[in-house]
Amino acid sequence: APLTIMSNEDTDIDSMITTFNTALTETASEILGKHRQKKKSWITAEILDLCDKRRELRQKRFEPEGSEKYKEVNNNIKRCMKKAKENWIGEQCSEIEENLRKNNSKMAYQLVKDLTTVKQGKATTVQDRSGKCLTEEREILNR
């Protein structure tokens, strides 16, 4: 289909490439939709749609009626998030119980570990050429 859009007059390769790319990306976004990355596993598509609505209302929140709509959508998002997280934790607990019932303790304890451990970021240190750790900000920037 993108090739049929191009006319016979366009012989410039750059214009052909841009025409092809725009047709391809428009078709892909129309058919596939926008990919949304979830930061938390319990977030649903409904919550993401509410977040988009809240983002639109954010600019109007200083108006009297815009403020009320923004607060309403914001509170609705908080309620939905809380409910979705509780449902997700309930599902995880039932999965743990099912694994324990099936004598699959390794999987059960792995799920417990995933739920209870707090993930900590790695601390990276900057060293000079001789291997000594640098502590001064100016030395780190120079390195």
pLDDT in tens, 58-102: 888 788 788 889 999 999 999 999 999 999 999 999 999 999 999
- Cβ distance 43 to 81 under 8 Å? yes
Residue 121 has pLDDT above 90, yes or no: no
* Statement to judge: residues 111 and 46 lie in one domain: yes
User: Position of tokens 């970021």?
Assistant: 121
Q: Mean pLDDT, to the nearest integer, of 121-135?
A: 84
* Statement to judge: residues 9 and 46 lie in one domain: no
Between 10-14, 24-28, 69-73, 139-143, the lowest mean confidence (pLDDT) is in 10-14
* Statement to judge: residues 110 and 53 lie in one domain: yes
Q: Does a structural domain hold residue 25?
A: yes
* Statement to judge: residues 107 and 45 lie in one domain: yes
Mean pLDDT of all residues in the chain? Answer: 85
Q: Which residues span the domain enclosing 70? A: 41-119
The secondary element (H helix, E strand) that includes residue 64 is: helix 64-101
DSSP annotation of 133: B
What is the structure's pLDDT at 101?
A: 93
pTM score, whole prediction = 0.58
- Cβ distance 77 to 47 under 8 Å? yes
Report the DSSP beta bridge partners of residue 91: none
Q: Does a structural domain hold residue 53?
A: yes
Tally of residues, the chain: 143
* Statement to judge: residues 45 and 64 lie in one domain: yes
What is the structure's pLDDT at 1?
A: 53
* Statement to judge: residues 60 and 107 lie in one domain: yes
How many domains is the chain partitioned into structurally? 2
Return the SS3 of 5.
Answer: helix
d(CA 123, CA 70): 38
